[in-house]
Amino acid sequence: MTKRALITGITGQDGSYLAEHLLSQGYQVWGLIRGQANPRKSRVSRLVSELSFVDGDLMDQGSLVSAVDTVQPDEVYNLGAISFVPMSWQQAELVTEVNGMGVLRVLEAIRMVSGLNSSRTAGSGQIRFYQASSSEMFGKAAETPQRETTLFHPRSPYGAAKAYGHFITRNYRESFGMYAVSGMLFNHESPRRGSEFVTRKISLAVARIKLGLQDKLHLGNLDAVRDWGFAGDYVRAMHLMLQPDEPDDYVVGSGSMHSVRDAVRIAFEHVGLDWQDYVVIDPELVRPAEVEILCADSEHARTKLGWKPSVDFPELMHMMVDADLNQVSREHEYGDLLLASNW
Ligand code: NDP
Ligand code: GDR
């Protein structure tokens, strides 16, 4: 029988890669779309033509019940979130509602449609649930690398809301026997990454500078260290996590560390430029509380799921710069006609 998947956050970076991956595995895929004329819907449908859509919003319980009831999925992937960390200091309550309470609402929708309660635990035909948890939950971690047992010390309202989503996912597994899994994913990027995130901000700026369309690149903390991987590799891990007989939580990352300064250097070097001639430090871009260093110990995912990444960090930065050189030069040549994107 063809499996059916429902993805929230379908218009985001991971949503499109996951949809492509699941379709390649023979799934039927539905994406949850919010808003009455979401401009990103046409972008994702251009990219992934076999997608179906269902309306709903993580702020609206009824719409989620209706979406799950309509799709009758085998697997639900909750990727929807306000994912830009700085926004979580400006709109802390909204971010908590979407990224924290939104998880509870999806779990409740699954529980209601499946007819689960504490005395009737799930059976074999149950809906499997994936929660997009984040390395931001580790924050100022007491140990490096971080693994499944590392204590959380979130440094932003975003990280705190994700920690709630993580624990409520685990709680529904323990309370109702739900097949609910939390993937603690470290930073993953691609040419489809939003331009507000640092790797894409860098790759776009390098392309524009190389083509003579921009002079400087303004950045915040160059010393922050992250474990960056390629989004296409990480969506494979999401799918793998829902396949074992028993649900579990997994850390997913490359295990290698690079600073923002490394990212800038690698990207500028790729087009034959010296980053120090172009980068300007802007104190306004430094965060109220920074996560200084993150690095994944993905041993559990590697051994139990057989997952491993295929793209290393320099390859990732080169891929993004090349894609942006292509995009920016096309936009420059054709003006607003093409306007958009690696999508
Ligand atoms: P994006 O920011 O690219 O996409 C976020 C998605 O969430 C968009 O499709 C957006 O849809 C949707 N969304 C926002 N608000 C709502 C809402 N109220 N109801 C329904 N959908 C909503 O994120 P990514 O694809 O990069 O990340 C996917 C998930 O993984 C997120 O939960 C993120 O927090 C998490 N994560 C990401 C990591 C990364 O490095 N990329 C690492 C660890 C975790 P719309 O078009 O309607 O705005
Ligand atoms: P992050 O990603 O906050 O780790 O969250 P981001 O790319 O925004 O920042 C990474 C690091 O770069 C530093 N930095 C800058 N960041 C941005 N955006 N812009 C700048 O100009 C800049 N200068 C320096 C930041 O301070 C930070 O240390 C991402 C998101 O995808 C989350 O949703 C996800 O949960 C985590 O990754 C894991």
- Specify whether 95 is located in the same domain as 241: yes
Please report, for the domain that includes residue 218, its CATH number: 3.90.25.10
Residue 74 contacts residue 3 (beta carbons within 8 Å): yes
Residue 301 counted as domain residue: no
Looking at the DSSP bridge assignments, the partners of residue 32 are: 54
- Specify whether 239 is located in the same domain as 321: no
Question: Which pLDDT does position 78 carry in this prediction?
Answer: 99
Question: Which pair of tokens denotes residue 299?
Answer: 């041993």
| Ligand 2 touching residue 262 (CB < 6 A) | no
Nearest residue to 47 via CA among 267, 343, 266, 339 = 343
Cα–Cα distance for residue pair 195/91, rounded to 1 Å? 20
Of 83, 90, 138, 187, which is best to mutate to test ligand 2, by the most ligand atoms within 8 angstroms of its C-beta? 187
Query: Which ligand 2 atom is at minimum distance from the Cα of 83?
Result: 33
DSSP string, 207-275: HHHHTTS---EEES-TT-EE--EEHHHHHHHHHHHTSSSS---EEE--S--EEHHHHHHHHHHHTT--G
Ligand 1 pocket list (CB less than 6 A): 8-15, 32, 34-35, 38, 40, 57-59, 79-83, 98, 132, 134, 185, 187-188, 194
Nearest residue to 287 via CA among 190, 158, 162 = 158
Amino acid symbol at 242: L
The residue whose C-alpha atom lies closest to atom 33 belonging to ligand 1 is: 83
SS3 10: coil
Does the CA dihedral 299-311-22-76 come out positive or negative?
positive
Residue 88 counted as domain residue: yes
Residue 299 counted as domain residue: no
**Is this complex scored with an ipTM above 0.95?**
yes
Q: How many domains does the chain have?
A: 2
| Ligand 2 touching residue 134 (CB < 6 A) | yes
- Specify whether 266 is located in the same domain as 157: no
- Specify whether 9 is located in the same domain as 71: yes
DSSP string, 309-321: -S--HHHHHHHHH
The residue whose C-alpha atom lies closest to atom 7 belonging to ligand 1 is: 80
Cα–Cα distance for residue pair 108/70, rounded to 1 Å? 15
- Specify whether 213 is located in the same domain as 145: no
Question: Which pLDDT does position 118 carry in this prediction?
Answer: 61
The residue whose C-alpha atom lies closest to atom 38 belonging to ligand 2 is: 187
Residue 321 contacts residue 203 (beta carbons within 8 Å): yes
How many angstroms does the Cα of residue 13 sit away from the middle of ligand 2?
15
158 is an active site residue: yes
How many angstroms does the Cα of residue 189 sit away from the middle of ligand 1?
13
337 HSE (CA, 13 A, CB side): 6
- Specify whether 24 is located in the same domain as 162: yes
| Ligand 2 touching residue 85 (CB < 6 A) | yes
Please report, for the domain that includes residue 244, its CATH number: 3.40.50.720
- Per-10-residue mean pLDDT of the chain, 343 residues long, equals 97 98 98 95 93 98 98 98 98 98 98 79 78 98 97 98 98 96 98 98 98 98 98 98 98 98 98 98 97 97 98 98 97 64 56
Residue 304 counted as domain residue: no
Residue 220 is part of which domain span? Answer: 198-226+257-290+312-337
Residue 176 counted as domain residue: yes
The one-character DSSP state at 99 is I
Question: Which pLDDT does position 94 carry in this prediction?
Answer: 98
Question: Which pLDDT does position 116 carry in this prediction?
Answer: 80
Residue 49 counted as domain residue: yes
- Specify whether 42 is located in the same domain as 79: yes
Residue 208 counted as domain residue: yes
| Ligand 2 touching residue 259 (CB < 6 A) | no
Residue 176 contacts residue 122 (beta carbons within 8 Å): yes
- Specify whether 17 is located in the same domain as 89: yes
- Specify whether 105 is located in the same domain as 181: yes
- Specify whether 247 is located in the same domain as 261: no
Cα–Cα distance for residue pair 298/308, rounded to 1 Å? 9
- Specify whether 172 is located in the same domain as 206: no
Cα–Cα distance for residue pair 199/240, rounded to 1 Å? 26
212 HSE (CA, 13 A, CB side): 1
291-310 burial, b if ≥16 CB within 10 A, otherwise e? bebbbbbbebbbeebebebe
> Which of 63, 75, 136, 234 is labelled catalytic?
136
Residue 150 counted as domain residue: yes
- Specify whether 115 is located in the same domain as 169: yes
